[in-house]
Amino acid sequence: MVAGTFKLRLLTAQRGIEVLSMRWSDIDGEWWTIPAEVSKNALPHRVPLSPQALAILEQLRPLTGDFEWVFTSPKKPGFHIIAVRKATLRIAAKAGVEFTAHDLRRTAATHMASMGVSRLTISKILNHVERGITAIYDRASYDAEKRRALLRWGEKVERIGSGSRELAGVVPIR
């Protein structure tokens, strides 16, 4: 189940606590809405789910679908997993690389940029708050752009996972 948290972080480019606190009720078809009380900027955030992300959720449904949380804590019934630090350390040790789970978010953003996704769309996917005059007037959701970008990203991750040689690596924190 913990592996699913890492996969969803990579496929959706969302923050760790946002993925870990995902509720089944937050998912509506091909969309996941991160509630304002969970998102870092205190604004609700709609995230399109690629077929690859939906497949992970479908694998988890038989395990946690009867509970509120997608990533239900095995130690504290009624709560979600709150941290994956030990799993992150095990992955880093096994791979022989310096790695933090947040690197998955950076990797997704970097690869989407290299695929030609605009910085504005990446910013919308990451749920960053824009500053400046244009941000005051531009109230568009960018849902279509976010969906196109995450669909393409999901396809790329799938190709990489199938053994394609186009993996450029994780982009570490430095």
Per annotation, catalytic residue among 23, 106, 128, 152: 128
Record the tokens describing residue 113, joined without a space.
Answer: 């940029």
Per annotation, catalytic residue among 46, 102, 106, 152: 102
In whole angstroms, what is the distance from residue 77 CA to residue 108 CA? 32
In the residue annotation, 142 being an active-site residue is answered as no
Record the tokens describing residue 30, joined without a space.
Answer: 């091909």
State the residue range of the domain holding 78: 2-161
CATH number at residue 117: 1.10.443.10
Per annotation, catalytic residue among 7, 9, 45, 105: 105
What is the total count of domains within the chain? 1
In the residue annotation, 80 being an active-site residue is answered as no
Half-sphere exposure of 161 (CA within 13 A, CB side): 10
123 lies in some domain: yes
In the residue annotation, 146 being an active-site residue is answered as no
Task: For residue 47, name the pLDDT band (cuts at 50, 70, 90).
Answer: very high
Helix, strand counts (H, E) of the chain: 8, 3
Per residue in 119-169, pLDDT (tens digit) is: 999 999 999 988 888 888 998 999 999 999 999 999 999 999 888 655 555
61 lies in some domain: yes
In whole angstroms, what is the distance from residue 23 CA to residue 7 CA? 16
- Looking at residue 135, what is its pLDDT? 82
Outline where the chain has alpha helix (H).
2-12, 16-20, 51-64, 85-95, 103-114, 119-126, 133-137, 143-161
Mean pLDDT of the chain: 91
Q: How many Å separate Cα 52 from the centre of its chain?
A: 12
- Looking at residue 174, what is its pLDDT? 44
171 lies in some domain: no
119 lies in some domain: yes
Record the tokens describing residue 164, joined without a space.
Answer: 């394609």
